[in-house]
Structure 1
């Protein structure tokens, strides 16, 4: 404020509620005088706090969302979420995954490249049924709630989904192969027919 007075920038002082007589007196004070005045400021400066209720509500919602996200992350870990899933959902690096598991005192199952056993056919069917029924949930909650409903680990949910994707890719590949074979066969037959017609 001292610099603003010496530069004749009075807008800040006026916004604070000072009148022109007070501004002129303050303008004449030295830096030492201002220092003394600052020590006395609690006696004449009152801070008026105004709440922006819309922004406060938004901030509170963010706090609630953050807390809920933290809870879901911990529950995912407790129910066996693999590292690649936490990386995909929350951008975790391996060190963060390990430190969070240590903090929760979880056993190191399937370390690094370990691969879980495939779910049984019954488990897989149950997992996929619940997964499809929970399509409206947030992705992280969908993994968690599917595991809880199917009574399996989150890791098994990931494995069941991976197996379904593999089968779908194989089916698409087989369909494409059949179509290409059909096109090739049709072209070959057409070529033979054309050659026959020309020989006539």
Structure 2
């Protein structure tokens, strides 16, 4: 990652640790002295006072990540790095890049290191690890799988969700991963015999979660 981005992430993590990794956005905002109010747009201003406005149609518990994302913006602004982050890319991509950094910080706030470590300690690097983080952080499978894949830095890691004969979602840190959403995967065990697999039967059509660590070249 780029220098200003890394600095903003490090600042946010330090501030989060200082309030004992509060996960829920409203208590976290309160601990950081941020006011959350309804507004016409989703927007964060460090101020003072520090204020987050949320669209009325998204001001609900299910929109937790919107609040985490805006808290990410507050952290970037408090670190004084907003313009530096924008300057890491071309002008036409600056705002999108800033939003991506805020979203990444938001993901770290809703899935902090203690939750991730607890999932690894309980289940190692397996499908159950992803499900544990998904449940404890109350996030989507896609969000949890990406967080786990990025957090497991020992070896390249690929996490996929398949249904019937198709890949539904994939998160990978392997540079040569061939898996893509909507690619065919009729038999995960035959295709990836070294994968840790878990079949979920709580749906009309069974789905399979696969975790592949340190692919061999013939499996890439």
* Category of TM-score, reference length = shorter chain: under 0.3
The higher-RCO structure (CA 8 Å, 6+ apart) is 1
1 or 2, which has the higher strand percentage?
A: 2
Taking structure 2 as the reference length, the TM-score comes to 0.20
Higher-Rg structure is 1
1 or 2, which has the higher helix percentage?
A: 1
